[in-house]
Chains A and B, each alone.
Chain A
Amino acid sequence: MIDKPLNWHRPAALEDAQALLSRFPDAVPMGGGQHLIPRWRQSGTPATVVSLGLVPAMRHIERHGRVLRLGAAVTLNELAASAAVGDGIPALSSLAGKMGDRLMRNRATIGGALCTTSQAGCLPAAMLGTRAVVHTTARDIAAHDWFQPRGPGGPTLEKGELIVGVSLRIPDAASHQCLRLIPGRFALLTVFATRAEHEFGVGISGLSASAFRAFAAEAWLAGGAAAGSTGLDRVFEEHPGQSDIQAHGAYREAQARRLLKKAAEALLA
């Protein structure tokens, strides 16, 4: 797998992790490694890896009132099993329990998923739909800026910058709708929609090159999901369905419409 020795560190504190990253500017931070390690078979391992799995500052699942804080090094199975998440936003814990396969979920982390699954998969949609905020060691980045960077110096992490966790406001209602054609793999299309008082959040992943926050769908929901699904047309004008070997664009759009309507039924009932 490798052609050169690997410097591997597993810091026990956030400060140690940051110190390692500044000492080794090319160090690769790693969560569960579920995406990175198979990649290294093709590309070779990096010179230095900083494994973040034990950093306490990244291992929290906390609820303070209506705010849920999730550490970047929390695994998907931990997220799925958490009572705090299950009570607060059951759609999120059930989503986490269905991502990928069980073996992978024992290692994959929220932080890793944020960094590597922007095109497809359920977690990006959930972060966008809950209007979560990504907290790094340097700044706070709204989910829709994280997945759809606007302008130069976007939210791509600076050297030495680490995701510490995410926070989100627990909504009044949340709906996770996805179409998973192959068990254990990414869902083809995911919609995660939330209602908090009279505000809506909608995240969609799998439709186009990157997951995105569907403002047009939020407006449609705010309007009572009236005008059938033609009210959704703007979503697809802004984000046309992409075609690839899995599915063509028209199919993706049709499925997104269907899932948005199901989310609407759940939220507006």
Chain B
Amino acid sequence: MSETPSSNDPGQAGFCRVNTVARLEVPAGESLLEWLRDTADCVDVRKGCDTGHCGACAVLVDGVPVKSCSVLAQEAGARDVHTLAGLSLLDQPATQAVLAAAEQRQPFQCGYCMPAFMLAAIALLQDTPDPTDAQIRDAFAGLLCRCTGYLPIVDMVGLAARLLRGASPGGEGRTA
């Protein structure tokens, strides 16, 4: 355990909350990805590469999407972590819209990359609720899918945006 002169940061000996469940304090030296998978039983956080280039490890830390492979577990101490499975617990409009759209369209094939695209879509709609196709593709920069060719996922985000606006899923808008 660490010892710090004059530090009063409560995150020092962190109890991280994963999907609203309090967990044991995060140990030293693991990435958040490894800790979530190996200790916190979160198999919906995935390890698609070794170098931070694929995004399959995406999680929300205090609502902010990050690559858990490139965050030390201890950085998440005293913070709220949400994985893909815990997204439905977030009563947040963009999140609920993306979940509903994904359920409807089923855009994924093998599903391994799902965390990357779901979390990126949520982050996009949170600050750009009515994105163009170009903006959606741009939000997916740096994220990899090998199965789908991305088009069904882009289409899914378009549907999520329409759901978020309260428009009919067919696309002709009625404001909420």
Contacts and interface: CB of A to CB of B under 8 A. Distances in A.
Interface in B51-82: 51-53, 55, 58, 64-67, 69-72, 74-75
Interface in B118-155: 119-120, 123, 138-139, 141-143
B54 to A, nearest CB: 10
A1 B55 CA distance: 18
A45 B29 contact: yes
B175 interface: no
A103 B55 contact: yes
Interface stretch (B5-13, B92-100, B106-114, B162-170): B5-13
B65 A104 contact: no
A104 B52 contact: yes
Interface residues of A, number: 39
A32 B52 CA distance: 13
B120 A102 contact: yes
Contacts of A102: 65, 120, 123, 139, 141-142
Given A10-B9, A20-B5, A5 B28 contact: yes
Nearest to B137: A183
In this complex, the member of B58, B67, B120, B123 whose beta carbon has the largest number of chain A beta carbons within 10 angstroms is B67
Contacts of B72: 6, 8, 33, 37, 49, 51
SS class, residues of chain A in contact with chain B: loop
Interface string A49-61: 1010110000000
Contacts of B34: 1
Given A7-B28, A10-B11, A185-B142, A16 B6 contact: yes
Interface residues of B, number: 38
A33 to B, nearest CB: 6
A5 B71 CA distance: 16
B50 A101 contact: no
A15 B30 CA distance: 27
A11 B4 contact: yes
19 contacts: A1-B34, A5-B28, A5-B29, A9-B4, A10-B4, A10-B12, A10-B74, A15-B6, A32-B70, A102-B123, A102-B141, A102-B142, A103-B65, A103-B67, A104-B52, A107-B66, A107-B67, A183-B141, A185-B53
Interface of B: 2, 4-9, 11-12, 28-31, 34, 50-53, 55, 58, 64-67, 69-72, 74-75, 119-120, 123, 138-139, 141-143
Interface of A: 1-2, 4-13, 15-16, 19-20, 23, 32-34, 37-38, 41-42, 45, 49, 51, 53-54, 100-104, 106-107, 183-185
